[in-house]
Structure 1
C-alpha cells in the first residue's frame, strides 16, 4: 500500500510518499496557487518513485492550503499532522516549535502523538520566517545567510518584534555602525524570547524544532540558550507536517506504524 501526505503552507508545499516508511519526498514554493503547488508536488514525488496516481491508495492534505486541494481524500489540521509526524520520528512526548513563513506554532504532544495543547501566533509576522526575511533584506542579505554567521557574537538588543518597527530599528543600527553579526544575533535572540513567551516560560524536556526556520542554525542555538534545553532538528524539518498527514492516511487504511 502507498499513501501520500501533502502539506501546503504559505511559502512552500511539501509531499511525502509513505509505505510504512518515508519512500520519497519533495518540497517546492507554494507560489500564487496552493492548488497548483499541491498538484505539482504530488506529481514530483510520483515521478521520483516511478508511479502513477492510480497506485496511491489515499491522500491526506494539511496546511493552510488544504482547502484548495480538490484531489485529496481527507483534510486534517497541521497541528494534528505535526504531532503525528514528530511522534513517528522521536517516539517521545514533548514540545514542537514550528516556525513557518507566516506563523509560529508551539505544540505539546503526548507519547501517543496526540496534541495536548498548542499556541499559535498567526495574527502578525512577529517571530516568523517572514519577519526574518524582511530583516535579512534590510541588511542586504539572503535569509539563508542568517544561520551561518559566527557563533560567539554579542547580540544587540532588538526592542520591537513588530516587523515594521524592527526593520526601522535594524536600519538605524546599521547606520550607527553596529556589525551585521551582532544584529543577526539580536534578531535570533528576540525570536527565541518570543517563542519562550508562547511556552509560558516553562522548559519542556524534549523540544523539536520544525519548519523552514529550523534550517537556521543560529536560531536553533538561540532557542536552546533561551529555553535551557537541547533543541533537536529533524533531518528535513520542512516535511514533518506532510509526514504526519501520510501517517494518518496509512493508519486510516489499516496500516500499522512503528517509530522511525
Structure 2
C-alpha cells in the first residue's frame, strides 16, 4: 500500500469513522466531535471547513463545549484544510502543542520488533495501582497532571480489557518506563501511546522493548498496522524500526472556559 492510500485509510478509520469508548460521537456539517460521557475533556478529530467559514465554525465549537462546561482538543493534521487552520485556532486562543509526527508501520514488516527477544523485565499492568504508578511517572516526565487520563485508562481497562494493554518496566518496585496500546474496533490500526521513560533510565533499550511487546500483541490480535504520534525524541527510534512518517499532527487545546460557567 503506497503512502497516499495508507493516509486515506488512516483518515477513514481513525478520524472519520472513529468511535471512542466513553464518548458520544457527534457528526455535524463541519466537524466530527467526541463528547465525554463522564464530564471529561472532549475532542474534535476531523473537520470540513474552508477559508470562508473556519473562524465561524471554531467559535461555534468553542461555544458548544463552553455550554457543556468542558474543554476540548481540536486535532489538526498537516494535510487539513484550510492550510492555516492551526493558526486560526491559535488566534482564537487555543494553545498549540508542539508538532508530532504521524508514524505508521505495517506489522508484517516489523521483523526487528516482532522477532526481538522478549525481555522478562517488561510487565503487563492490569490493575488500578499500576495505572496510578504509570500516571505518576508521566506526571514527573511531562511536569503536568494527567489524573483524567488515568481515570479513563482504568475505566476502559475494566469495561473492555481486550481493547487496551498497558506495559511497564520496573527497577525493584519503582516504575521507570511505561507505554500502552489501544485496539480500535473495525480498524486495521492499533495505536501506540505513552512510551515514557525516566531520564536516568534512558539509553537502556526500554523504549524498544515496549515497542516490541506491543507489536507482538497487535500481530497476535490480527491488526495490520501500528500508528503513533511521535515526539522528535521518539521519531528516530521509530524510523530505525521501520516506521515512516505520513503527516504531522498538532494538538490544539481550547482556552479556559468562560467565567460564566
Give TM-score scaled by structure 2 length: 0.30
- The structure richer in helix per residue is 1
Structure ranking higher in strand proportion = 2
